[in-house]
Amino acid sequence: MAKVFISWSGKSTPSFCVAERICEALKLVFHNNEFFFSDHIQKGTFGVQQIFENLSEAKVGIFCVTKANILKPWLNFEAGAITCAVLKNSGCAMPLLIDITKDDFALSASPLAKFQATCLNDTSDMLRMMNDIAKATGADISEKDMEKYYHRLVEPELAEIDINVTEEPTINQSFVTTTFVTDELTKDAKKLLKALYNDYAAERSLGSSISEAADFNDIDEICRLSSMSVDDIRELFDTLSNLGYLKYDSDDNFNMVFGKLTDKGIKYGEDNFYEPTYIILLREIIKQYNSRKAYVPSDRFKNFSSDDFSVLKSKGYIDMTKYLNGNFVVKPTDSGIAEIVMRDE
């Protein structure tokens, strides 16, 4: 039995109303699947834990997106978590757009924007989404039958939803221009600069001088940090260099790079990408855990204070187990991994 996770943000909003109705309607169509809608959490239980358990098991995640909630922390927190889950489970994440166009959604800062979106008011789009759910969950339903189920079971439920419920927006119609058009950096240039700055901040936390930490030369490491290809980085290096954020020299094949973040690049990172030391520690824990697939000894993180570990523990971002000699081992939790996924979007 495959699990479908339905996410929303804001009680008594169009996002909640659509999530509630779509959950009930899809249950009638995919009756062999299990649906999780966070309003169904049992009283007296730890809600966040239930959400994580269901996220980790989901084959499909449906996110009910509006102009008002597109940048809300909780929706995007769940988005980051389910991104990890669906990739692990070979599933899919499906943003369901309620009152926002696909063009505006694609240009938004939401981590969900990288997924193929569906418009609630487009019947053919909704049918494609339902057929994709069938494929992801292994439901044996033909496209002809799916169309019949949609008109008989889903459309009547959606028709009762009032998507004009008053909701204070997080963004307005000008959010695309404000976020992207007026900034001198493109989205990809920001992504690369953030990767370089995060590496700089990590080096600084380990005691390197400003000058030492600002240097970079390993193109493979830059590709890994930014999830970009060498060709992408070559072009963006030129852009960032022309804007004064970094300086670099390379050989003809771009295999060896000698570069440095400039004062302007570091200042931009401090103003826009600042991360507290406990987040830098969390990144390092995740990195070492992924290479070991096991708890990591605390003595590998001697440059971080015990306060950083305490913060991560209090936020539920790591699990810690003590040795008999007073040392301990750590590993990231699902919520810790989700936090980094969200920050990297």
Supply the pLDDT for residue 127.
95
DSSP classification of residue 41: P
DSSP classification of residue 117: P
pLDDT in tens, 88-106: 666 788 999 998 888 888 8
Tell me the mean pLDDT in the region 251-258. Answer: 66
Q: What is the SS3 assignment for 34?
A: strand
Supply the pLDDT for residue 307.
81
Supply the pLDDT for residue 176.
34
Supply the pLDDT for residue 345.
58
What percentage of the chain carries pLDDT values higher than 90?
18
Tell me the mean pLDDT in the region 283-305. Answer: 84
Tell me the mean pLDDT in the region 7-30. Answer: 86
Tell me the mean pLDDT in the region 67-87. Answer: 68
Nearest Cα to Cα of residue 68 among 106, 111, 98, 37: 98
Supply the pLDDT for residue 328.
87
Supply the pLDDT for residue 165.
54
Q: Look-up: residue for tokens 């590709």?
A: 223
- Residue 179 pLDDT more than 80? no
The Cα–Cα gap between 75 and 86 comes to 16
- Residue 48 pLDDT more than 70? no
Supply the pLDDT for residue 327.
78
Supply the pLDDT for residue 183.
46
What percentage of the chain carries pLDDT values higher than 70?
77
Nearest Cα to Cα of residue 222 among 210, 237, 209: 237
Supply the pLDDT for residue 85.
64
pLDDT band at 173 (very low <50, low <70, confident <90, very high): very low
Q: What contacts 24+ positions apart, CB below 8 Å, involve 35-44? A: 35/3, 35/4, 35/6, 36/3, 36/4, 36/5, 36/6, 37/6, 37/8, 38/7, 38/8
